[in-house]
A and B are shown apart, each in its own frame.
Chain A
Amino acid sequence: AQTVTQSQPEMSVQEAETVTLSCTYDTSENNYYLFWYKQPPSRQMILVIRQEAYKQQNATENRFSVNFQKAAKSFSLKISDSQLGDTAMYFCAHNSGGSNYKLTFGKGTLLTVNP
């Protein structure tokens, strides 16, 4: 069974600093996708970044980047120049596609950006 583990229930960072959120996963698939979603207090789930497992290059989206270590099954999210609006719950998720049409989520990390 696929599992996703986020070992940091809560984190905090000062505005303008950099923070890294950790995620590990377990899968027997070779081709799959990994995602980071952000859920602010409004509860709207927003896609932050995605990574295809077959791509060695780490994905980046503006201030957000990932460190994807396929052999270690690790997928961490780095947020640079943190902003107050980054305060949210962050979920790591895995989707193997194929015949398994679902996202498996971690428990989430609550990130607070302090002024």
Chain B
Amino acid sequence: KAGVTQTPRYLIKTRGQQVTLSCSPISGHRSVSWYQQTPGQGLQFLFEYFSETQRNKGNFPGRFSGRQFSNSRSEMNVSTLELGDSALYLCASSSSRAWGQETQYFGPGTRLLVL
């Protein structure tokens, strides 16, 4: 099976702009989670989607949003970019069909630089 894919891999934006990141999960996986990784804060959970529904959300401002499509692909959007949004954004998928299917598999990440 192909792994989790994320596009684009690298992105440079300026303050105030918005950005959309995309994630395609492993085939058959219906749960997609997003994490932000920075040197200062480490890995922080953004949100998780399952069957197009957001089931859990981390402690991030409303500028961070996401959605999931019927084919389980997911996008996250950050509006009004700030310098502090520079980070590696990781997407992970899991089958999450039942207890015991909770292992999350990660994509290569999108590295966002805000200037």
Q: Which residues of A line the B interface, CB within 8 A?
A: 31, 33, 35, 37, 42-47, 50, 52, 91, 95, 97, 99-108
Contacts and interface: CB of A to CB of B under 8 A. Distances in A.
A23 B31 CA distance: 27
B45 A104 contact: yes
Interface residues of B, number: 25
Interface stretch (B15-23, B67-75, B77-85, B99-107): B99-107
Interface of B is mostly: strand
Contacts of B33: 101-103
Interface of B: 31, 33, 35, 42-43, 45, 48, 50, 55-56, 58, 88, 90, 92, 96, 99-100, 102-106, 108-109, 111
Given A43-B108, A43-B109, A45-B90, A101 B103 contact: no
Given A35-B103, A44-B109, A103-B35, 7 more contacts: A45-B109, A50-B103, A52-B100, A99-B56, A101-B33, A103-B92, A108-B42
